[in-house]
Structure 1
Amino acid sequence: MDVTIITSGLYRDLHMDLINLLDKAIKLAAGANDTSNYVKINSEKIYEKLKAEGYNETEAMKSPLRIFSEEPGAYSPGLQEAIPASNTWEERMQLAEFYIKRTSAAYSTDTWGVKIPRVFEEKS
């Protein structure tokens, strides 16, 4: 099983220690050499895909990240305002793009609040 964790901004701010603990578990699975697992397999696939799309090594190495939320200081993806404002969008895909833009900040022990929408898209 692979996993993507999308946390609320409040949880992100109050439970940094738990986010870091979850990240450590994800990194262990992604780096496991003794067994094959979906976190590892999918991280490697995403890494190769990003490299093929022209992303540099540093960006492609973010492929194991699995914990996402809004940027620091934000506490909602904003869909509750965007959906009823139907005069601002025509296709549902625009709402999906809005959500990805707002919720693609990654959180880990060494990446905190960095927006990586392409990695997030691959996890969704």
Structure 2
Amino acid sequence: MKTEPEDYSWERLVADGETIWSGVRNHQAARNMRSMALGEEVFFYRSVVQPAVLGIMRVSQTWYDDPDNPPWCLVKLQPVRRLPNEVLLSAIKAEAALADIALIRQSRLSVTPVSDEHWQLILELSDGSR
């Protein structure tokens, strides 16, 4: 899940303890939010300024209608942990095994799925084991 640091930062998420993910105004991104399961972990991705995967969040409430902006939806998320090292977009692009990740293929989409294989590769890039 992407956010611009001036809109919502990792540090603010940690301080808040939970947030409502709002402002998604793309039908495909909204479908991706609707597919999230309670307890599912998702990456927190900082866009625009030094784009990178920073941490892991957990779905604390599955999608529900945005009362202010139907037909859009909202999801509640809690921070799980910051990654040992940020995984810069440049590192993701440089990793051949991540060439087909939606983050690269659909770079303007704010909520993208991540396969189990891609998830593991990003974690390995973060901890230096790859």
TM-score normalised over the length of structure 1: 0.28
Report which of the two structures shows the higher radius of gyration computed on alpha carbons.
1
Between structures 1 and 2, the one with greater strand share = 2
Between structures 1 and 2, the one with greater helix share = 1
